[in-house]
Structure 1
Amino acid sequence: MKYGKLKLPLNLKGIIPVLSAPKNVLLPYTLPATYMPKFKQFFRPLVIFYVLVVYVVACFSWWTWFHINNLQTIFDITVEKEKVVYKANNLNPEEVVNAATYKNAHRDLIAKRAMILAEGFVFLLIIGLATYQLHTGIQSEIMLNRQQRNFLLSITHELKSPVAGIRLGLETLLKRGNLDRDVQKKLLNNSLKDADRLQALVENILMAAKIENQSISLSPDEFDFSQLVAETVQKTKDTFAIGRQITADITPDIYINGDRMAVASIVINLIENALKYSPADTPVLVSLKTDNKQAFFRVIDYGPGVTDKEKGKIFKKFYRIGNEDTRRTKGTGLGLYLVKQLTEIHNGSIRVTDNLPTGCIFTVTLPCEVIPEELLIETLVNPDAEPTA
């Protein structure tokens, strides 16, 4: 059995490389060393850079001190000369401070000293700002490389697992053609679930790429948000969360204007995120409420929660709490990033709060329209009538 190449020709500013698998080999990815940057790669340039900065600052400080000291020496020599002249003319040398020559020399000393100090301050300010910018850029590069490595590790696993499951089911069906029909049906269902999982992963990556390139194209239309949430919860129960308890509290007939597929991605990613980061024996609560102006979609879990420091980071692209080498939960770090981006595209907002005593509450707020009661009655009488706001 031959397997063709699997490629993801995306353009996330060089973050996602093109992955490919040769024929007869099922995604045996091993990450090259170039994809595993370590801090030591940046240590030597950092040391050299900061040594140069210290050297430049020290040289400039010495230059400033030298010139100020030289000006003071010139001024002292000028004063001593004037005192000699005063003594030669039988005048009191101490009265030289009242002479015009002394005042002009002192004024010139103060002006030149102020000029040198001002130039030094501006120079050190520029050096400081440049150092801060370079330091921030280097730290961002280190973080970006770390996130890239984590993303490559996670996506390698996420791609291999469903494809391996599909292959296992199909090979079993080919090698054992005399299996019971129920067993065959079960294998096919498992393969379909793995295919759905793979499709969802690829769709997330493609949507993230489109958002990054500002090329996402949405088709806004009015649809039943309540029905979408109910269908998504049920589908999740039947596929990704078999055996998990998902409790739904959905106010019916909440309509919003937006892209149905994009909003579905918001709902799916939040529910799957709650399932991944909460214990299997705890429930996940999904609610949808409205105040007739806005729809409030909430997903509540009883997992470990998110610290206040991490709450501002979890919506960044590729960001995941912990290290990919020791993390047990699945994911690519794109789910919450997509949720935030798609929510803002729909003129909504998202926030995360603590669910005491443990867990998180993700709340998505979207503009909504509720079907008026008289229109609902008309719809019940005439089922073919389309609901409009």
Structure 2
Amino acid sequence: MKNKPFIIFYILVAYVFVQFCWWGYHIIDLNRQVFELNVTLEDGALSGNLGTDENKRLLEEKLEKRKWMVIGEGSVFALLLVMGVYITQRAFKKEVDLSRQQRNFLMAVTHELKSPLASIKLYMQTMQKHDLDDQKSSEILENVLNETNRLTSLVDNILLSSQIESDNYLLIKEEVNMSRLTNDILDNFALHPVKEKVSIDRNIQSEVMLSADFNAMNSIVINLVDNAVKYSNDATKVLVELTTGDSEVILTVKDEGQGISDAEKSKVFDKFYRQENESTRKTQGTGLGLYILKYLVEQHGGAISLTDNDPKGSIFAVTLSSS
């Protein structure tokens, strides 16, 4: 049962609260009994003494003070208990969510590794068993190259994610021609399309230079475009724009897909996170691309924004300082 840990946790919390209330009741009842006993002793020892009423009054005041002392201490204890439960519950839920995301990630990686490997094996067996003409052989080799590129991209993302987690990723800055880099990547997407029915338009300003890590910029552009294409509907367009502003370089990718709800906009950059809908489940992905993207952008002192496209879809905009 998936919710068993939560059920056990809440049962224990309820038990602690019941025990706390029971303890408070007994403390107050014990004070009452002590008060009654003291009154009885005072009545017996000071029978007829004019000071008896005064002693009773002092005992009553003492009882009242003890009662409020117990209530005060109990309230503080209850507050600390509630805070502890809240913090523990949040941490517990976070761990459960992370565990689920890691499990989904492993399943996704397994699928994404098996799929291209199976395709490559099938293509190679076809070439081995049949005497194909040059055109057919060329088509098969092209498909093998596409599947190999998929594997390379997946492995690169996994290795990069591991380096990020262990703080071993180092930026090596150099002068990067972002215009040439972006155009080369888009040309490659055109030659080896992720989705045949999704077209990519471009508006790339010429000779945009940036002091940055070349591999990081390459990963940023690839992940942005790949994400936009994968989650686009058939017969739609993805627009990639590279422009400059006041001492900044702006890379914008607009798609016409299903879009991202406001509730999920802040989550899509989390490691392993994937949207919980049918179209996402049918789309290949590991939940690493946008996580890596945000990290690399922030390492360069930049920012990334996510807004809605009109009439539908999403707009990812990366802003990097060119100074």
1:300: Cα distance to partner?
0.5
CA–CA separation in structure 1 for the residues paired with 2:199 and 2:16: 64
* Residue 71 (structure 1) aligned to one of 31, 34, 51: 31
* Residue 223 (structure 1) aligned to one of 176, 181, 184: 176
CA contact 1:277–1:304 (8 Å) conserved in 2:
yes
1:80: Cα distance to partner?
6.4
Query: 1:263 matched to which residue of 2?
Result: 217
Deviations 1:210-244 (A, max 9, x none): 10111112211111112211211111111124453
Amino acid at match of 2:182: V
CA–CA separation in structure 2 for the residues paired with 1:169 and 1:179: 12
CA–CA separation in structure 2 for the residues paired with 1:192 and 1:304: 30
Query: 1:277 matched to which residue of 2?
Result: 231
Query: 1:351 matched to which residue of 2?
Result: 305
CA contact 2:35–2:60 (8 Å) conserved in 1:
yes
Distance 1:368 1:191, change over 3 A: same
1:60 aligns with 2:14: no
Deviations 1:102-150 (A, max 9, x none): 4543443243223322322232233323322332233223322321232
Query: 1:6 matched to which residue of 2?
Result: none
Matching of residues 16-31 of structure 1 within 5 Å:
none
Query: 1:175 matched to which residue of 2?
Result: 129
1:236 aligns with 2:196: no
CA contact 1:153–1:324 (8 Å) conserved in 2:
no
Amino acid at match of 1:250: I
Query: 1:307 matched to which residue of 2?
Result: 261
Of all paired residues, the percent bearing the same amino acid is 39
The runs of 5 or more residues in structure 2 that have no matched partner are none
Amino acid at match of 1:216: Y
Matching of residues 65-144 of structure 1 within 5 Å:
65-76=25-36, 78=38, 88-89=48-49, 96=53, 99=54, 101-102=55-56, 104-144=58-98
Choose 118-127 or 262-271, whichever is displaced more.
118-127
CA–CA separation in structure 2 for the residues paired with 1:184 and 1:55: 71
Under a length normalisation based on structure 2, what TM-score does the superposition of the two structures give? 0.90
CA–CA separation in structure 2 for the residues paired with 1:111 and 1:335: 63
CA–CA separation in structure 2 for the residues paired with 1:255 and 1:214: 28
Choose 353-362 or 249-258, whichever is displaced more.
249-258
Matching of residues 128-167 of structure 1 within 5 Å:
128-167=82-121
* Residue 212 (structure 1) aligned to one of 142, 165, 176: 165
Deviations 1:291-337 (A, max 9, x none): 13111111111111111111111111111112689811111111111
SS in 2 for 1:88: coil
Distance 1:65 1:214, change over 3 A: same
CA contact 1:154–1:324 (8 Å) conserved in 2:
no
Choose 289-298 or 121-130, whichever is displaced more.
121-130
Q: Report how many residues are paired.
A: 322
Q: Let me know the Cα RMSD of the aligned residues.
A: 2.5
1:86: Cα distance to partner?
8.1
CA–CA separation in structure 1 for the residues paired with 2:249 and 2:280: 38
Deviations 1:353-383 (A, max 9, x none): 11122111111111114xxxxxxxxxxxxxx
Choose 73-82 or 63-72, whichever is displaced more.
73-82
Choose 116-125 or 203-212, whichever is displaced more.
116-125
CA contact 2:198–2:232 (8 Å) conserved in 1:
no
Query: 1:380 matched to which residue of 2?
Result: none
Deviations 1:86-114 (A, max 9, x none): 8725x698xx3xx3x34543443243223
CA–CA separation in structure 2 for the residues paired with 1:128 and 1:141: 20
Under a length normalisation based on structure 1, what TM-score does the superposition of the two structures give? 0.76
SS in 1 for 2:250: strand
